[in-house]
């Protein structure tokens, strides 16, 4: 790997991990009906940049990672519009939570793929990523995100929190 590609890969990975960590803080805020201040733009920007930089790697045909990246960009567009364009009014609050958490899930989905590719012990358990250990981990991650996203959509009411504090 050339040093330029290694640097690009490192930037992509750092953005991805920053998106995941800040996304988990945002999720925590949703579950406690708070907007986690500066973490929201960090999450949205790093996740957006992760998806965009994913298209910058050399490729000869469309890969599953490109499909996940395109889906992530789509849900991020909804999240950003709901948060900043519609200011979470009405059904946009729900749209924001679901789309933001879907983008976080896509990042975590890719993290699991990469961990199974890069960690030798896991790679030996699932060399083609179609073996039961890989499938089970991905299903557990998906189930956790579905449950957490539903709980977040139900609990996240920042306007009520502001009124109660006033």
Q: What are the structure tokens assigned to 47, written together?
A: 């996740």
Question: pLDDT tens for residues 30-49?
Answer: 999 988 789 999 999 999 99
Predicted local confidence at residue 165, as pLDDT? 47
Predicted local confidence at residue 62, as pLDDT? 95
pLDDT range class, residue 142, cuts 50, 70, 90: very high
Contact 161, 34 (CB under 8 A): yes
Q: Find how far residue 133's CA is from the centre of its chain.
A: 22
Question: pLDDT tens for residues 151-161?
Answer: 999 999 987 65
Residue-wise over 105-116: b if at least 16 C-beta within 10 A, else e?
Answer: bbbbbbbbbeeb
Question: pLDDT tens for residues 95-131?
Answer: 999 999 999 999 999 999 999 999 999 999 999 999 9
Question: pLDDT tens for residues 82-96?
Answer: 999 999 999 999 999
pLDDT range class, residue 166, cuts 50, 70, 90: very low
Q: What is the mean pLDDT of residues 68-75?
A: 98
Predicted local confidence at residue 4, as pLDDT? 92
In the predicted model, is pLDDT for residue 144 greater than 60?
yes
Predicted local confidence at residue 101, as pLDDT? 98
Predicted local confidence at residue 1, as pLDDT? 72
Question: 3-state DSSP call for residue 109?
Answer: helix
Q: Residue 79's closest CA among 51, 109, 112?
A: 51
- Residue 143 burial class via C-beta count within 10 angstroms: exposed 0-12, middle 13-18, buried 19 and up: exposed
Q: What are the structure tokens assigned to 46, written together?
A: 């790093």
């Amino acid at each position: 790997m050339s040093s330029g590609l290694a640097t690009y890969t490192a930037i992509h990975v750092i953005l991805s991990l920053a998106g995941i960590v800040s996304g988990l803080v945002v999720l925590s805020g949703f579950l406690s009906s708070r907007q986690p201040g500066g973490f929201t733009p960090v999450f949205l920007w790093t996740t957006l940049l992760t998806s965009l930089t994913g298209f910058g790697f050399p490729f000869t045909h469309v890969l599953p990672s490109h499909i996940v990246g395109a889906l992530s960009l789509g849900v991020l567009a909804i999240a950003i519009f709901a948060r900043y364009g519609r200011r979470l009014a009405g059904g946009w609050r729900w749209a924001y939570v679901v789309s933001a958490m879907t983008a976080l899930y896509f990042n975590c989905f890719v993290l699991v793929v990469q961990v199974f590719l890069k960690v030798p012990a896991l790679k030996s358990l699932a060399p083609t990523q179609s073996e039961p250990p890989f499938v089970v981990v991905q299903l557990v991650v998906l189930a956790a995100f579905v449950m957490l996203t539903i709980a977040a959509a139900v609990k996240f009411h920042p306007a009520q929190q502001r009124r109660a504090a006033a």
